[in-house]
Amino acid sequence: MAKMLPKTDVVIVGSGWAGGIAAAELSKKGYKVVGLERGKAQVREDFIGSKDELRYDSRKVMFQDLSKETLTIRNTTDEVASPNRSNDTNAINGTDTGGSGVHWNGMVYRWLPTDFEMLSKTVEKYGKDMIPKDMTVQDWGIKYDALEPYYDKFEKATGISGEPDPLRPGQRSSDYPTPPQKETEIIRTFTKAAKELGYHPYRIASANLSEAYTNPDGETINGCVYCAFCEAFGCDFGAKADPIATVLATASKTGNYELRNNAYAVRVVHENGKATGIKYVDTETGEEFIQPADLVVVSGFVFSNTRLMLLSEIGKPYNPKDGTGVIGKNLTAHQRNLTHTRVRGFFDEKKFNRYAGTGALGVTMDDFNVEQLDHTKLDFLHGFCLRTSQRGDRPISNNHVPEGTPSWGPEFKEKSLFYANRRIDVQQQNGALPWRENYMDLDPTYRDVFGDPLLRVTSKFHDQDRNIVKYAHQRSKELLEQMGADYITVPDINEDTEFDKTSLSDHTGGGVIMGENPETSAVNNYSQVWDMDNLFVVGASSFPHLGSSNPTATVGTLAYRATEGMIKVLENGGQLIQDGKETAAAK
């Protein structure tokens, strides 16, 4: 029997960006907030002196412990799914205080106005026939202009260093809080080539700050020292905007926030259509507890959010056969063996300081993004950014050699040493649109350590997904030719290229998506569950699809909006978008 704890105003699952923002905003308002985090406690001091590629990058110690819980994966509904057993191939999920926000790179992008009205804009411009039969693309139920103030708020909370995109004039209400980071020879080479080709490069906005900054809540983030141990690491210098340095610190300062670590949420407890709390397991003692609360926030990232909804039997599970139901719907990802691939240019005569860098040090351009393209001439929808970034190459994970070189032995050694610092990579990041049979449900076979079914992912690539990447690779190749690369390696994407099931990626969306009404979505544009007014599911699980760049600014944006909604519900209760419910009922 689970032990019942004293009631609090709000209980939040997860302490990443989504849960952290909710914690800060609610506790500042005076509400008593309990955070439940499955991973261990961690503080800034844990990251000092942690420049160890094997421990953090190869062994992925900051990532989810898969011995407790993992995903099972298959490509199609007639296959048996197999578990993603290790983090070796592609770690995705954060755990421990701060979640993935501690070991992210810090690339910060706003998504495009079209992203939020993807269905109506496409139909308006090209007609209904433009949308492939099995593509379940839809609008978000909110427009860019309504979200802009929250993007701004996220950027100010995190002190983002950047410069505006020349192709998007008038879309920002204010400048980035801090100027771009320093420029490197790799950035100069890319920028020059892109300008020569008539494109509009600009610096990637970065949460690795160019200078010390104090945010509106009074939290200070230091200036980055370009130490090159950013991705997969916590920042040694307190220079990366992460939840520990910002929102969790703000929440703690109020005295109203209590974070419980090693607290694994297993159910949303509910009664008569109202959430009453969270049931969790203390993984240090094995005891079960129920934390009751007036308002419940689930912000454990896409997979936990979807799984907790399914396990708790809230909302109608999505059925890919007839398209009914919503929980588990519209799973999309920037997938590792497609979207995350890179076109690599090798230079015989040029040597760059590749060992130095930061997570988000780079240059990008939107000349091929959705709004810049005429899709009638193309075999895909949406678009992509092209960019290069200099994270600081670490020697275990960077042994790239020109095509045709063996992957071990004398020639490999010679060339991997020779080209170690003679390379520029161009990467595309493209919009990922949803498909009818790409979804999540509960696995019939595999269970977690608590005996509950694992979350099952069904996902395959379609021609659209491959075509966009193939097209982007050619544009990357042209850029590298302009830069003067001697050898260019283009990843082989052909019709057999399929999601390789290794795992998804850190850019995954869907499962508990937002939308205009409860027939087509699980939450409204405040991330409030249509069917349960005092339950909010926050994070990338809300995305009906993925935009053509990194997701976290949009996660933060939706989280700031969600907390406004939470405060209204705590004050007055009720459904915030009554229209949506009524429209659906009228149909």
The residues that are catalytic are 507
Q: Which residue is nearest to ligand FAD (CB)?
A: 16
Question: Residue 183, interface with another protein (CB under 8 A)?
Answer: yes
**Residue 101 or 357 with smaller CB distance to another protein:** 357
116 with 139: CB under 8 angstroms? yes
Question: Residue 162, interface with another protein (CB under 8 A)?
Answer: no
Question: Residue 114, interface with another protein (CB under 8 A)?
Answer: no
Nearest Cα neighbor of 136 from 301, 381, 302 is: 381
Residue 320, SS3?
coil
Among 112, 147, 160, 224, binds ligand SF4 (CB under 6 A): 224
Question: Residue 230, interface with ligand SF4 (CB under 6 A)?
Answer: yes
Q: Which helix (H) or strand (E) holds 221?
A: strand 220-221
Residues numbered 341-370 forming contacts with ligand SF4, rule: CB under 6 A: 358-359
Q: Which stretch binds another protein (CB under 8 A): 143-151, 190-198, 280-288, 390-398?
A: 390-398
Q: Which two tokens stand for residue 353?
A: 């300081």
Among 191, 208, 389, 458, binds ligand SF4 (CB under 6 A): 208
**Residue 17 or 31 with smaller CB distance to ligand FAD:** 17
Longest dimension (CA), the chain: 72
For 460-481, b where at least 16 C-beta lie within 10 A, e where not — what string? bbeebbbebbbbbbebbbbbbe
Among ligand SF4, ligand FAD, another protein, none, what does residue 339 contact (CB within 5–8 Å per kind)? none
Binding mask 50-89 for another protein (x = CB under 8 A): -xxxx---xx-----xxx-xx--x------x-xxxxxxxx
Among ligand SF4, ligand FAD, another protein, none, what does residue 101 contact (CB within 5–8 Å per kind)? ligand FAD
3-state SS string for 34-103: EEECCCCCCCHHHHCCCCCHHHHHHCCCCECCCCCCCEEEECCCCCCCEECCCCCCCCCCECCCCHHHCC
Nearest approach, Cβ of 239 to ligand SF4 (angstroms)? 4
Residues numbered 350-389 forming contacts with ligand FAD, rule: CB under 6 A: 360
Residues numbered 518-547 forming contacts with ligand FAD, rule: CB under 6 A: 539-540
Distance, first Cα to last Cα, the chain = 44
Nearest Cα neighbor of 244 from 96, 375, 347, 457 is: 96
Q: Which two tokens stand for residue 429?
A: 């990041």
Question: Residue 565, interface with another protein (CB under 8 A)?
Answer: no
Among 225, 417, 449, 585, binds ligand SF4 (CB under 6 A): 225
Nearest approach, Cβ of 101 to another protein (angstroms)? 17
224/215 Cα distance (integer angstroms) = 16
**Residue 198 or 410 with smaller CB distance to another protein:** 410
Among 11, 12, 107, 235, binds ligand SF4 (CB under 6 A): 235
Sequential DSSP letters for 478-501 = HHHHHHT-SEEE-----TT----S
CA distances from 396 to 56, 62, 416, 542 (A): 12, 18, 11, 36
Q: At what angle do helices 463-483 and 185-196 cross, to 10 degrees?
A: 100
Question: Residue 394, interface with ligand SF4 (CB under 6 A)?
Answer: no
Nearest approach, Cβ of 43 to ligand SF4 (angstroms)? 15
* Residues at the interface with ligand SF4 (CB under 6 A): 208, 224-230, 233, 235-237, 239-240, 358-359
